């Protein structure tokens, strides 16, 4: 059965226009403590009613500590011929350390998971100096500092049928937050090439020490199918889908991923066409037939390639209204005007709440008038974001704080130690910052405090100043 | 104790004893199962006063919706799900924690008390009944709330609200008390509240920190009344609504009634500083200008 046929089959209800809401969940443990994938399954199971079984998925970070330095490639394939095509392609640019079917349980009768495509994963070492296509070299940047001291020594993996370290074990993080820019660019090109040019092959995820698991079905069934309880990660995101306007097929489930970015999304992006055209100018090609794809590419362009802070990226994706910008002091107004003009085609128009994640960092963001639900909570080292509080309480009954973030104001959680090394401008949900905020006067507007928490929005806030938009 | 008070206490005791009570653990029950379980037991009480204590809620929706006309009180522990008390018509719902989105959606009669905070669109389209929330409400609370003859919904929030509070409001009374009873906006952050002793001479003066930061407050409002206590930014208002200071609680019976009821509902939790703030104000009243404020919006 081809993917096209699958698409027909998987959306028999023709309910593309049904209006409901997807369910989102995300958690990061700042200390790097790894959480069993069951936490994400249970949270998503609680949000069951928000989806309709036409898509579910998860992203786990820190799940491949034994292979932390290899590129983990998750793909779905039409058939064995597609796999042969892919492997031929891979061998030109990579040493394949391990190739195997993604471990999964048999599809149970009556499960919402039906007719999965072939699901494979590869652990790849780039081969420096091998040219893939004229003008493009994959692995060129290797050895230029993208791989410093992360994770334990290589293992051989545990083979088919096993995950990689279950349980709340060890502080192994293996975060590969920094990729050599050139290498990352060539990896993006490589993924775009596969998705566009290789028939029957779709990349779910392609980055170090993380992976996306997704498909058509209720999220808890998808999680069970992929044996997520065999994995442990310091960060998880989850999604239950209620498709609006687009097909339900395995590749169209969330999360969407590029490099180590993943995006889960509730809402619809009316500006998809505009966003897509803009991103194509930068070499991003939308192939997955769903609006959410553009958010992953926009995140990569803004935050990795153009070095915008999380807060600045939020001001692009969920830009304040011109009316609000007009009320700001001159310098802030000028900077926001520049941001809005330069990146006008990346404004995400329409209702949305998204969870954007990359190695070591979790970002929750709602549209500027907050037309989709969004709850955040903290408990010790953990930051949670979700569509409903119940989904958080069901996995962490005792919470330090629960709040509703304002539209356009990113909620950011970051691994300890990454706050300094990571992207400037935003800050970790660290206890230190929290304490600083609690104990200092409300006039504390260091870039650190101002950027990460909702005070950063201009609307109605007296203290909004130029220092909050990093220069 | 006076003889009158003694009599009252005895009457209350007798009443409490006559109320049948049922405990239900919601764990593992989906929305439909839970609501059917509650309804089946309430119906068996044949209209007698009844109380149901539901524990371990994990997001089950529409609680109280199917109990129209029954003199029942639900005590809810855990996290009740969306549309709590939607179309509520008579019962009392008491949430011992936070509520999610859509509390009191289109409620007609009855009372909902939330001891924590509520999510978005609380009292959406409410047309009667009472909603008391100790903490904050999210986006778009009291959206298109309305009134008709004797039906006049009342919403009183101890803390503050997010954007679009009272959007398209057509009737009823909505009150934000600004007592700092809700959460802050991030780990460790504190809610904004009067110090209690600091000067706080009304929103327009902008002397203290903003307690209410509510962009698009009362946008499209064309009926009913909103009261705010504490600092806020009047520039968020459109020209079709007007804000005036309230001289005193006594001069404003609807407000005095709302504050009195809130004080009664949360009498155990209110501290002296909060009671003092409630007494002193300052309060502001927001109303539409005239009967058809938008008549010339497009003309």
Mean pLDDT of chain B: 90
The answer to whether position A386 is within a domain reads yes
Residue of chain B whose alpha carbon sits nearest to that of A463: B209
DSSP B167-235: TT-EEEEEEE---S-S--SSTTPPPP---SSS----GGGT-S--SB--TTTTTT--EEEEEEES-B-GG
Q: Does A383 touch chain B (CB under 8 A)?
A: yes
d(CA B144, CA B166): 7
Does residue A325 belong to any structural domain of this protein? no
Residue A178's pLDDT is: 55
Contacts across the A-B interface (CB distance below 8 Å): 113
- Tell if the CB–CB gap between B183 and A388 is shorter than 8 Å: no
Give A-chain residues touching B78 at CB under 8 angstroms.
Answer: 393
Query: Residue A66 gets which letter from DSSP?
Result: G
pTM over 0.80: yes
Interface of A with B in 385-424 (CB under 8 A): 388-391, 393-394, 400-407, 411
User: Cα B17 vs. chain centroid, distance in angstroms?
Assistant: 29
Enclosing domain of residue A158: 3-320+347-470
Tens of pLDDT along B5-54? 566 566 555 555 678 999 999 999 999 999 999 999 999 998 888 999 99
Tell whether B185 lies on the interface with A, counting CB pairs under 8 A.
yes
Contact call for A393 and B139, based on CB within 8 A = no
Cβ-based contacts of B138 with chain A (< 8 Å): 404
> Does a structural domain hold residue A330?
no
**Residues of chain B contacting residue A426, judged by C-beta atoms under 8 Å apart:** none
Question: Could you give phi then psi for residue B164, rounded to 5 degrees?
Answer: 65, 25
Three-state DSSP class for residue A385: strand
**Chain B residue closest to A373 (CA)?**
B120
Residues of A annotated catalytic, as ranges: 22
In angstroms, the CA A46 to CA A248 distance is: 21
Q: How far is A371 from chain B (nearest CA, A)?
A: 9
Among chain A residues, CA nearest to B187 = A434
Ramachandran region, residue A346 (left: φ > 0; alpha: ψ -120 to 50; beta: rest)? alpha
Bridge partner residues of A377 (DSSP): A384, A402
Question: At A424, which helix (H) or strand (E)?
Answer: none
Q: Chain B within 8 Å of A438 (Cβ-Cβ)?
A: yes
| Residue B7 confidence (pLDDT) | 62
The 8-class DSSP code of residue B260 comes to: H
**DSSP three-state, residue A137:** strand
Q: Is residue A95 part of a domain?
A: yes
Q: How many domains does chain A have?
A: 1
Distances (CA, A) of A252 to A10, A350, A425, B218: 11, 19, 33, 40
With H, G, I as helix, E, B as strand and everything else as coil, classify residue A298: helix
Structural contact between residues B224 and B145, judged by C-beta atoms closer than 8 angstroms: yes
In the numeric block, the tokens 């009291």 are attached to B142
Q: How far apart are CA A447 and CA A466, in angstroms?
A: 10
Give the chain B residue whose CA is nearest to the CA of A454.
B185
On whether residue A337 sits in a domain, the answer given is no
Pick from B133, B288, B283: nearest CA to B224:
B288
Name B72's bridge partners: B50
- Quick one: CA dihedral A449, A455, A456, A462, positive or negative? negative
Residue (of A307, A333, A119) closest to A226 by Cα position: A119
Residue of A20, A324, A388, A435 to mutate, interface with B, max B Cβ within 10 Å: A388
- Looking at the complex, does the CB of residue A443 fall below 8 Å from at least one CB of chain B? no
DSSP A106: P
> What pairs with residue A372 in β-bridges?
none
In a domain, A433, yes or no: yes
- The counts of H helices and E strands in chain B are 4, 11
Answer whether residue A329 is part of any domain: no
- pLDDT score of A334: 95
Taking the C-alpha atoms of residue B16 and residue A295, their distance in angstroms, rounded to an integer, is 57
In angstroms, what separates the C-alpha of B61 from chain A's closest C-alpha? 10
Which candidate from B58, B139, B190 shows the least CB-CB separation from A370?
B139
Chain B nearest-CA distance from A409, in A, is: 10
Average pLDDT over residues B105-131: 98
**Residues of chain A contacting B195 with CB distance shorter than 8 Å:** none
Whether B79 and A389 lie within 8 Å, measured CB to CB: yes
Quote the CA–CA distance of B9 and A461 in Å, as a whole number: 50
Q: A454 in a domain, yes or no? A: yes
**Under-70 pLDDT residues of chain A:** 1-20, 128-179, 244-247, 419-471
Please state, in angstroms and rounded to a whole number, the distance separating the CA atoms of residues A313 and A301: 10
- CB proximity A49 to B under 8 Å: yes
Q: B58, A393: Cβ pair inside 8 Å? A: yes
Q: Cβ contacts (< 8 Å) between B115 and chain A: which residues? A: none
Peptide bond into B109 cis (omega under 30): no
- What's residue A434's pLDDT? 34
Which of B78, B139, B189 has the CB atom closest to A453's CB atom? B189
Q: Which chain A residue has its CA at the smallest distance from B237's CA? A: A460
Would you tell me which residues 225-284 of chain B have a C-beta closer than 8 angstroms to some C-beta of chain A?
Answer: 233, 235-236
| CATH number, position A73 | 3.60.20.10
Nearest chain A alpha carbon to B119: A404
What pLDDT was estimated at residue A418? Answer: 74
A423 exposure class (CB count in 10 Å sphere: 0-12, 13-18, 19+): buried
Chain mean position to CA B169:
15
Structure tokens that stand for A197 in this block:
């040019």
Q: Identify the pLDDT of residue B12.
A: 56
* Residue B187 in this model has a pLDDT that exceeds 50: yes
């Amino acid at each position: 059965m081809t993917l096209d046929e699958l698409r027909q089959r998987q959306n028999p209800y023709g309910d593309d226009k049904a209006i409901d809401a997807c369910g989102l969940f995300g958690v990061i443990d700042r200390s790097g403590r790894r959480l069993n994938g069951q936490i994400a399954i249970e949270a998503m199971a609680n949000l069951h009613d928000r989806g309709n079984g036409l898509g579910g998925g998860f992203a786990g970070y820190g799940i491949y500590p034994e292979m932390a330095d290899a590129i983990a490639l998750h793909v779905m394939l039409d058939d064995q011929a597609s796999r042969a095509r892919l492997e031929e392609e891979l061998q030109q640019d990579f040493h394949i350390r391990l190739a195997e079917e993604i471990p999964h349980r048999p599809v149970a009768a009556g499960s919402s998971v039906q007719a999965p495509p072939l699901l494979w994963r590869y652990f790849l070492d780039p081969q420096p100096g091998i040219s893939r296509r004229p003008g493009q070299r994959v692995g060129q940047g290797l050895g230029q500092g993208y791989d410093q001291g992360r994770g334990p020594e290589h293992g051989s993996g545990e083979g088919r049928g096993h995950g990689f370290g279950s349980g709340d074990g060890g502080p192994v993080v293996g975060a590969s937050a920094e990729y050599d820019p050139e290498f990352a660019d060539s990896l993006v090109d490589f993924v775009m090439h596969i998705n566009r040019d290789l028939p029957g092959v779709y990349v779910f995820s392609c980055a170090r020490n993380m992976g996306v698991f997704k498909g058509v079905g209720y999220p808890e069934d998808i999680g069970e199918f992929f044996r997520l309880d065999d994995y442990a990660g310091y960060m998880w995101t989850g999604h239950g889908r209620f498709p609006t306007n687009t097909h339900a097929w395995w590749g169209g489930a969330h999360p969407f991923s590029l490099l180590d970015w993943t995006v889960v999304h509730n809402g619809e992006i009316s500006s998809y066409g505009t966003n897509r055209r803009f991103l194509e100018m930068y070499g991003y090609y939308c192939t997955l037939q769903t609006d959410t794809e553009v958010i992953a590419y926009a995140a990569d362009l803004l935050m990795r390639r153009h070095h915008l802070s999380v807060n600045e990226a939020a001001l692009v994706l969920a830009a304040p209204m011109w009316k609000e910008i007009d009320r700001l002091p001159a310098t802030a107004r000028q900077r926001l005007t520049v941001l809005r003009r330069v990146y006008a085609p990346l404004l995400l128009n329409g209702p949305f709440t998204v969870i954007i994640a990359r190695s070591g960092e979790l970002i929750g963001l709602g549209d500027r008038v907050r037309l989709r639900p969004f709850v955040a909570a903290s408990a010790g080292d953990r930051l949670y974001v979700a569509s409903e509080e119940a989904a958080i309480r069901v996995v962490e009954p005792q919470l330090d704080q629960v709040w509703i973030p304002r539209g356009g104001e990113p909620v950011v959680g970051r691994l300890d130690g990454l706050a300094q090394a990571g992207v400037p401008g935003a800050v970790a949900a660290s206890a230190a910052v929290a304490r600083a905020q609690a104990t200092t006067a409300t006039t504390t507007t260091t870039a650190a405090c101002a950027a990460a928490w909702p005070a950063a929005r201009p609307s109605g806030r007296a203290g909004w100043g130029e220092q909050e938009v990093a220069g | 104790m006076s003889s009158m008070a003694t009599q009252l206490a005895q009457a209350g005791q007798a009443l409490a004893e006559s109320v049948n009570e049922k405990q239900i653990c919601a764990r593992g029950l989906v929305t439909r199962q839970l609501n059917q379980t509650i309804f089946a037991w309430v119906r068996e009480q044949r209209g007698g006063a009844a109380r149901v204590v539901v524990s371990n809620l994990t997001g089950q929706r529409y609680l109280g919706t199917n109990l129209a006309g029954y003199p029942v009180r639900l005590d809810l522990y855990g996290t009740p799900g969306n549309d709590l008390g939607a179309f509520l018509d008579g019962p009392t719902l008491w949430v011992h924690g936070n509520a999610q989105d859509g509390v009191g959606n289109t409620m007609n009669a009855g009372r909902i008390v939330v001891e924590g905070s509520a999510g978005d669109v609380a009292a959406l389209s409410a047309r009667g009944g009472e909603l008391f929330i100790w903490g904050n409400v999210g986006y778009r609370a009291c959206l298109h709330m309305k009134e008709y003859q004797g039906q006049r919904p009342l919403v009183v929030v101890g803390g503050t609200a997010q954007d679009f509070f009272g959007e398209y409001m057509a009737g009823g009374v909505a009150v934000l008390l600004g007592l700092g009873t809700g959460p802050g906006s991030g780990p460790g952050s504190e809610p904004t509240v009067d110090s209690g002793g600091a000067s706080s001479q009304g929103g327009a003066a902008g002397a203290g920190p903003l307690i209410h930061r509510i962009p698009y407050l009362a946008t499209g409002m064309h009926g009913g009344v909103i009261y705010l206590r504490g600092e806020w930014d009047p520039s968020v208002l459109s020209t079709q609504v007007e804000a005036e200071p309230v001289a005193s609680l006594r001069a404003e019976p609807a407000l005095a009634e709302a504050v009195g009821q809130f004080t009664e509902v949360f009498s155990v939790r209110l501290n002296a500083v909060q009671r003092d703030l409630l007494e002193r104000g300052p309060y502001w009243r927001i109303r539409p200008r005239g009967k058809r404020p938008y008549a010339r919006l497009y003309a």
